[in-house]
Chains A and B, each alone.
Chain A
Amino acid sequence: MACARYKDWLSDAALGALDPARDAELRAHVAECAACRAALEAERALFAAIDAGLEAGVAPEPSPEFAARVRMRVAEEPPPRPGWLTGWLPATAAALAVLVLLVVWYFPHGAQQRSPAVAPPAVAKQLPPLPAEPTHVGSVPGSRRTAVERQVAAAALAGGPAVAKNEPEVLVPPGQWLAVSRLYRSVQQGRVNPESLLRPLPEVLPAIEDLKVQELKIPAIEINGHSGSREKTEGESGKEARN
């Protein structure tokens, strides 16, 4: 049956999407076959009906009040802000403000709070001739203190001299650590050769004698004001002596 061959071509032909060679062949067939011609016409009518139905489904216009209703709803919305007001600009401005506040807060205090171990060259330029050593750090009221003294005083208030975390701590007798800290700084700056501070070892070491521990003598304890008990004690002592 030649018609069966063309059955599957009908819908593509009705949509105008059939291959040109096949389209020519189908045209030749439907010119002679009344049934296939009717089927093709039915397909075309079906697609036309579908198109008409689809177009009819979306043909209505919105109501005349539609735009007014949209405007009313839009009017209730907060006004749209430009992107640069809602995007990166406010965040950048806030970050800059915080940065400025930090800088303003830090710099009046920052120079005084810096540790000498962190910035030794700056301290070295400010080092004055060694003053007379104070008895303790807090005993220089009213005097104009140097940066080093302020650092030492601040360290003292904090419980001891400021030492960087990567440096060893040294126990220093009270009243000497200002001098020790200056000596330490001088060594750091190369003004003092640390080897010159070491006492050379003697060529021949002295013999070390054995350690002798003397016998410990503990005198008897005498208790005054309790005669009875003392007499009893003496009597008992006499008995023991006689025995």
Chain B
Amino acid sequence: MDALVGSLTEAVVTREELLDAEFERRLADCSTLAFRVALGVLRHREDAEDVAQEAFVRAYRGFHRLRDRERFRAWLVRITWRLALDRLRAAKRRGHHEELVADPPERPGPSVEAATVSREFQRHLHRAMDELPEKLRIVVVLGAIEGYKTNEMARILSLPEGTVKSRLHFAKKQLAERLQWLVQDTKTG
């Protein structure tokens, strides 16, 4: 009986060790991804690190239940995304997020290049991003992180590649419409 309990305990410990080792590999692979997803929503470095850490802890709690380990990246992205949105909403309720988004836009300089390099353009872009529906916003953030590789984004989001492409296209057009006033001077009439 003792031998049976001993072998069972040994098997459990071995399995736990294997899980820990595998989780360690996932942590090394996906740290940047989780952090950037959180940063894409929060645009605040410390908050993004907090959220990414929390996402990893939650992923660890459920790691042994994840049957398809190849889905870990997608799973982690979804956890991080939800946590980041929750954090953003909480910050907005407290009024804290007002410091992170832009004030009412000012007229930019005459050239697009000048606007691109300016911090103001970045602020306006963030504001336009915040106005996007969630399903478009995550595509834009992931596209920026993954270099707009739609096949990888489709795998992470569990969506058909065509859907990802059309959402990305639609999201960018919406962003462009919201930011078009920045380049109004150079546009045709």
Chain A residues packing against B (C-beta within 8 Å): 3, 7, 11-12, 15, 17, 35-36, 38-39, 41-43, 45-63, 66-67, 69-71, 73-74, 77, 79-83, 85
Contacts and interface: CB of A to CB of B under 8 A. Distances in A.
B173 A61 contact: no
B19 interface: yes
A15 B122 CA distance: 20
Main SS of chain B's interface residues? helix
Contact of A47 (B12, B52, B113, B172): B172
Nearest to B140: A54
B141 A60 contact: no
Nearest to B45: A60
A38 B187 CA distance: 7
Interface string B9-26: 000100110011001100
B65 A83 contact: yes
Interface in B35-89: 35-37, 39-40, 43, 45, 49, 52-53, 56-57, 60-61, 63-65
Contacts of A66: 31, 35, 49, 52-53
Tier of interface size on chain B: 35 or more
5 contacts: A39-B187, A58-B36, A67-B27, A73-B56, A74-B60
Contacts of A81: 12, 16, 64
A50 B27 CA distance: 30
B170 to A, nearest CB: 10
A46 B180 contact: yes
Interface in B168-189: 169, 172-173, 175-176, 179-180, 182-183, 186-189
Interface of B: 12, 15-16, 19-20, 23-24, 27-28, 31-32, 35-37, 39-40, 43, 45, 49, 52-53, 56-57, 60-61, 63-65, 112-113, 115-116, 121-122, 125-126, 129, 140-141, 143-145, 148, 169, 172-173, 175-176, 179-180, 182-183, 186-189
Query: Closest 8 CB pairs between A and B?
Result: A39-B188, A54-B144, A62-B35, A49-B116, A45-B112, A58-B36, A80-B64, A53-B125
Given A42-B112, A56-B122, A61-B32, A80 B53 contact: no
Given A50-B179, A73-B53, 12 more contacts: A38-B188, A45-B116, A46-B182, A49-B115, A53-B122, A55-B144, A57-B43, A57-B125, A62-B32, A66-B35, A71-B27, A81-B64
Contact of A3 (B60, B63, B179, B188): B188
A80 B39 contact: no
Contact of B39 (A11, A43, A57, A69): A57
Contact of B60 (A38, A53, A80): A80
